[in-house]
């Protein structure tokens, strides 16, 4: 694909018309400035975006956020909506880490309060929150408990003492998707999920202690309880091996069934089925089970982080209370109602590496946030800023209530490990005052800031395009890397 294949719609929206390829059903749109468009042309992500524009039932546009990069079939940073009942649902449009997401917790502490305790806090967080590939935790579930957890989601965590009512209220979907069905989940997935609740995993997952650096939207920040100099904590993780196995199982099943529905695909990684089909219904029920698992995983990690603060601050006279700001998903396909060209349509909105960003007035938002819009949490990379945004009226009309989810990679993990030394990176970050705890130095190198786009530029695009509004910029002071 070439830059000349795009036409510029607005300063931040570029479009590939549906005439670009005979099999496209709708145009493909990409939110970017000139530099981010140039970066996206260096991998196959924009070709993948065009491929998604061919899917049966797709409505309006195939969309990509400015953090786009190449993924499995669908680009990461992609958003598509298909119309019910026969529009398709695709495991590749959700991703292998189902309901990977971000949670933001806030304290009543100023950075100056915590400076002398940060090193011990980083160690306590690493010790209490298990991380690493395949790593299990201290919570070992019985099969019947796991089946209940899949269906109940965060309600399971509340009943078992790992959550507060406020946590659930400030979690997307209150931490529970409906119609999850444990019978649609394979025994292999259940086995992998038995001991991974309350674990961080590896890859780009992390726990990060941050400081609020700057406020851009006073009213929204006050509503969220954010102030300059404040200590906050981000959690980034998902459904671990449980969700990965569910995606693996259904990709195989859909590859066997896709021809039966007469669906022709430009890339077999786009395998899908009509949502109304038995395969589509079964995947949705299993995917919801994985989403509920991920909500509980982040909730139990929240419990362990609260314990870590209590341990480190015991006897200091400092308050260790952490309250939840919000929890969002960024790998999900959800049934939502949207206005499209003056019509109210029920859609299956796939957000793969994209975040729901509903605007003010949405009835699904918590009371505290309904008039300011949904909080949106966008982590950067270790050593760079992260952002708190809110959804807008324009995100509802432009992007099915969606915006970006992160900085977006510029370098593959293998390339990062070849070119960056983990020990040198750790020294650089610690020299900047960031306490680093990592399971492995190659794993640290994979997530180096230089392997990612400039998150501040990504945010300028979504803010400038109007599909999210800046609230606060936060910067890291301690990172526990999975």
Q: How far apart are CA 279 and CA 250, in angstroms?
A: 8
- Count the Cβ atoms, other than its own, within 10 Å of residue 434: 20
- Active site (annotated) includes residue 244: no
Q: How far apart are CA 475 and CA 387, in angstroms?
A: 9
How is residue 260 written in tokens? 């039966």
Let me know if 474 is exposed, middle or buried by CB neighbors in 10 A (0-12, 13-18, 19+): buried
Q: How far apart are CA 180 and CA 468, in angstroms?
A: 30
Q: Which residues contact 342 (CB under 8 A, 6 or more apart)?
A: none
Q: What is the DSSP letter of 75?
A: P
Backbone angles phi, psi at 478, to 5 degrees: -155, 135
Q: Which of 227, 246, 229, 228 is nearest to 238 (CA)?
A: 246
Q: Which of 205, 134, 236 is nearest to 482 (CA)?
A: 205
Cβ 388 vs Cβ 471: under 8 Å: yes
Q: What is the DSSP letter of 127?
A: H
Let me know if 281 is exposed, middle or buried by CB neighbors in 10 A (0-12, 13-18, 19+): middle
Q: How far apart are CA 238 and CA 329, in angstroms?
A: 9
Whether the CA torsion 2, 67, 29, 93 is positive or negative: it is: positive
Set 217, 303, 405, 435: catalytic member: 405
Q: What is the DSSP letter of 385?
A: -
Cβ 347 vs Cβ 87: under 8 Å: yes
Positions marked active-site:
405
């Amino acid at each position: 694909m070439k830059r000349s294949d795009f036409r510029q719609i607005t300063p931040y929206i570029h479009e590939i018309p549906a005439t670009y390829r005979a099999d496209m059903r709708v145009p493909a749109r990409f939110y970017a400035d000139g530099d981010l468009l140039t970066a996206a042309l260096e991998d196959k992500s924009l070709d993948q975006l065009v491929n998604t524009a061919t899917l049966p039932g797709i409505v309006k546009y195939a969309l990509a956020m400015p953090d786009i990069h190449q993924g499995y079939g669908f680009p990461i940073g992609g958003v598509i909506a298909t119309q019910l009942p026969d529009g398709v649902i695709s495991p590749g449009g959700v991703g292998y880490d189902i309901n990977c997401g971000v949670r933001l917790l806030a304290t009543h502490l100023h950075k100056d309060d915590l400076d002398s305790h940060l090193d011990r806090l980083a160690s306590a967080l690493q010790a209490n929150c298990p991380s690493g590939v395949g790593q299990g935790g201290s919570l070992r579930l019985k099969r019947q408990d796991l089946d209940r957890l899949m269906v109940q989601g965060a309600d399971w965590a509340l009943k078992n003492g790992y959550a507060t009512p406020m946590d659930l209220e400030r979690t997307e979907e209150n931490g529970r998707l409906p119609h999850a069905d444990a019978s649609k989940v394979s025994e292999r997935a259940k086995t992998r999920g038995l001991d991974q609740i309350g674990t961080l995993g590896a890859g780009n997952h992390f726990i990060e202690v941050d400081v609020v650096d700057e406020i851009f939207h006073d009213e929204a920040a006050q509503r969220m309880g954010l102030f300059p100099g404040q200590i906050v904590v981000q959690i980034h993780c998902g459904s671990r091996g449980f969700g990965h196995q569910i995606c693996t199982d259904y990709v195989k099943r859909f590859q066997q069934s896709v021809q039966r529905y007469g669906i022709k695909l430009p890339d077999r990684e786009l395998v899908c089925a009509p949502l109304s089909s038995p395969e589509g219904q079964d995947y949705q029920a299993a995917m919801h089970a994985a989403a509920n698992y991920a909500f509980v995983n982040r909730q139990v990690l929240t419990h362990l982080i609260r314990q870590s603060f209590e341990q480190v601050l015991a006897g200091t006279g400092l308050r260790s209370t952490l309250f939840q700001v919000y929890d969002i998903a960024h790998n999900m396909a959800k049934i939502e109602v949207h206005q499209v060209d003056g019509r109210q349509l029920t859609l299956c909105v796939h957000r793969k590496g994209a975040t729901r960003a509903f605007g003010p007035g949405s009835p699904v938002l918590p009371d505290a946030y309904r008039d300011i819009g949904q909080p949106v949490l966008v982590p950067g990379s270790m050593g760079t800023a992260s952002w708190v945004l809110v959804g807008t009226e324009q995100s509802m009309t432009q992007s099915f209530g969606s915006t970006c989810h992160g900085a977006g990679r510029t370098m593959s993990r293998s390339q990062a490990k070849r070119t960056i030394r983990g020990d040198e990176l750790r020294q650089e970050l610690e020299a900047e005052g960031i306490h680093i705890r990592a399971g492995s130095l190659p794993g640290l190198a994979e997530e180096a800031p230089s392997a990612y786009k400039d998150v501040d530029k990504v945010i300028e695009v979504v803010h400038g395009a109007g599909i999210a509004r800046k609230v606060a910029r936060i910067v890291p002071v301690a990172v526990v890397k999975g």
